[in-house]
Each structure stands twice: as C-alpha cells, then as structure tokens.
Amino acid sequence: MTKITVVGAGFVGMSCAQRLAEQEVAEEIVLIDVVEGKPQGLALDINQAGAIEGYQALLIGTNDAADTAGSDLVIMTAGLPRKPGMDRSDLLEVNGKIVEGVAAYVAADSPEARVVVVSNPLDTMVYLMAEKLGFPKSQVVGMAGVLDSARMASFIAESMGGGVKDVRCMVLGGHGDSMVPIPDFSTLNGVSLPAIMGEDEISAINDRTRNGGAEIVNLLKTGSAFYAPSAAAVAMAKAITRGEERLLPCSAWLEGQYGLDGIYMGVPVVLGRNGVERIVELELDEAGQAKLEASASAIRGDIATLEGLGLL
C-alpha cells in the first residue's frame, strides 16, 4: 500500500490532497496541519466526494505527526504564502523554522520517504529540508521547474493561439526572479521556439514566465497560486511513486553538473522510484550558462542568510 503525506492544509496542500485522491496516486493520503479541525474537515469533504467521483483513496486529516509514520512520499506545502510586494526570500526565516519542524518527524518516522518540497523560497527550502533530514540527496527534490515550465507553455499557447497540449517548455535555475527560461529547448509540437517566434515575442514570454507567480499574487490581492502548483507537485508524486522515469525540470542537488556544486537548483532530471534517478545536462550557450550561474549566486545568498539565522 502506498502512503503519501501532504504537509499543510492551505490552498496548495488541500488541492494536492484532492488531486492525489481523485487520481488514486496512493491508497492512503494523510493531510496534516497545525490548525485543529481544518485537515479533518477537508479530509471528510474529499472522502465524501469520492462517492460521487468514484475514487477509492482514503484521506486522513490530522494534527498529529504520528499519523504520518511510514509515508512513502511527503509533499511539503506548509509555510507562509507571499503577499503583494513580497519576494520569496522574505519568507526565509518563518518558513525555514516550519521546514525544520517537519523534517524532524519525517526523519524519525518515515526514514525511507521521498520528499517533494513546494514551500518558498523553494530552492533554499529544499536545501534546508535535505540538510535537516540527512537523507540521500536524491530522495529530496523541489517543485519549481514543472510549474514554471507550465506557465511558460501557457503563455506560448496564448500567444500562438494554439493548444497548450502541443507545447513543451524547459525552465531552469532558481524558482524566482532569477529563473532561466530556455527557448531553444522549448517546443511547439516538436518545433523549437526560435523557429516560430520572433526574438521580442520570446523575450516578453520569458519575462512574463519569471513574474508568473507575482502576476497571480497581484491579481488575487490575498493569497497566491495553488491550482498549477498542486498539479505540478502531484505530477512529480506520480513520477516517483509509479516509477515513471519522467524527464522533468526540478530543483535537484548538483555535484558538478552545469559547473555548479553543493546547491539545489532547477535542472532537467529523470524522476523515478528513487527520487532523482539522474540529472540531464543540456548544452547551454554562454548567455544561458551565465544566467544559470547568476541564479545559483542568488540561491547561495539565501543559504548564507539561513546560516546567519542559525537554521543551518
């Protein structure tokens, strides 16, 4: 029996739980939150929807970490969301402490688990989670590139007036303002973006992709995106629990790949039962490599901040 724990019953967490149940990714899904009654109520509601939709997964809502024991996969969504004008890095201290607490019970009670981190600032929180867990780095991965690539694909389809199903995109680097969309490895029905779009149009899509999360935050006024982030996290969960060996852009531990070492950052990886099965290195031009290194520098700055806060 497959058991998945979703940490955090906010919009992203509850959407993850709903998608996991509807797609029957696991037989048992645990939704845990610190707010009493909230995960229990959501679990009851999603379970009752199963009688209509016809899915068999059992959802358990809880405030007790003991209920997460023996999880095969943990999706970490808990944390303070961004507000208008906030950068992901503004969340470092408060979300860092939340990650620290969750890592303690995951390490103790689910030592074989694969962990997908969604909490922001993403790449830094994955780094912190991995350090606190002490698991093999391949078992801990961050959800970033799948979401950012989906946003880019949506913008391309909107611009071209075509179907988003035909669009495949690749976005590397940190999950934030320094992310690196890669048009040469982004395609519309197999045709690379530069072959069908002008340079100015591509540049505008790249910029909108980098600001995709902020655009939604500014429109919502309160809260941030959750439909697409939860879909991205569940796609990764399926790739891992089902051993799909999917090639997806994720925040993974680098040991010399792309000339970078000792950080988590968005790169193409093959996701399977062991988590990150391998990292795929693309041939980037000088400009792309320089942007990737600049993104890595931004992540290292956040890691240094965590060290200064005593969280590392």
Instruction: Dump pLDDT digits (tens) for 197-236.
Output: 999 999 999 999 999 999 998 999 888 899 999 999 999 9
Q: Single out the residue in 142, 165, 190 at which a domain terminates.
A: 142
Clarify whether residues 137 and 149 are in a common domain.
no
Residue 177's contacts (CB-CB under 8 Å, 6 or more residues apart) are 87, 210, 211, 298
pLDDT confidence of residue 221:
87
What count of residues does the chain have? Answer: 312
Choosing from 3, 88, 175, 300, the catalytic residue is 175
Q: Domain range holding 194? A: 145-307
Token digits of residue 181? 């969309």
> In whole numbers, what is the pLDDT of the chain averaged over residues?
94
Confidence of residue 146 (pLDDT cuts 50, 70, 90): very high
On the 0-12 / 13-18 / 19+ scale of CB atoms within 10 A, 22 is: middle
> Would you place residue 80 in the very low, low, confident or very high pLDDT band (cuts 50, 70, 90)?
confident
For the chain, how long is the longest CA-to-CA vector?
Answer: 55
Distance of CA 29 to the CA centre of its chain: 18
Task: Label residue 280 exposed, middle or buried (CB < 10 Å: 0-12, 13-18, 19+).
Answer: exposed
This prediction's pTM: 0.95
122 and 257: one domain? no
Report which DSSP code applies to 150: H
Residue 128: inside a domain:
yes
201 DSSP 8-state letter = H
pLDDT at 82: 63
Active site annotation includes 71:
no
Task: Give the per-residue pLDDT at 84.
Answer: 63
**Cβ 97 vs Cβ 309: under 8 Å:** no
SS3 73: strand
26 and 61 fall within a common domain:
yes
Tell me the C-alpha distance between 197 and 212, whole Å: 20
Reading the block at residue 191, the tokens are: 């045709």
The pair of structure tokens assigned to 301 is 């700055």
Q: What is the CATH number of the domain that holds 24?
A: 3.40.50.720
| Tally of domains within the chain | 2
Q: How far apart are CA 80 and CA 179, in angstroms?
A: 21
C-alpha 5/C-alpha 71 separation (Å) is 6
* 218 is a domain residue: yes
Helices 92-109, 122-133: axis angle to 10 degrees equals 40
- Picking from 84, 112, 142, the residue at the C-terminal end of a domain is 142
The verdict on 175 and 123 lying in the same domain is no
Same domain, 187 and 250: yes
Mean pLDDT of 260-288: 96
Lowest pLDDT segment from 82-91, 125-134, 163-172, 259-268: 82-91
Residues 37 and 85 in one domain: yes
Rounded to a whole number of angstroms, the distance between the first and last alpha carbons of the chain is: 35
Last residue of a domain, one of 122, 142, 162: 142
- Residue pair 103/125 in contact (Cβ under 8 Å)? The answer is no
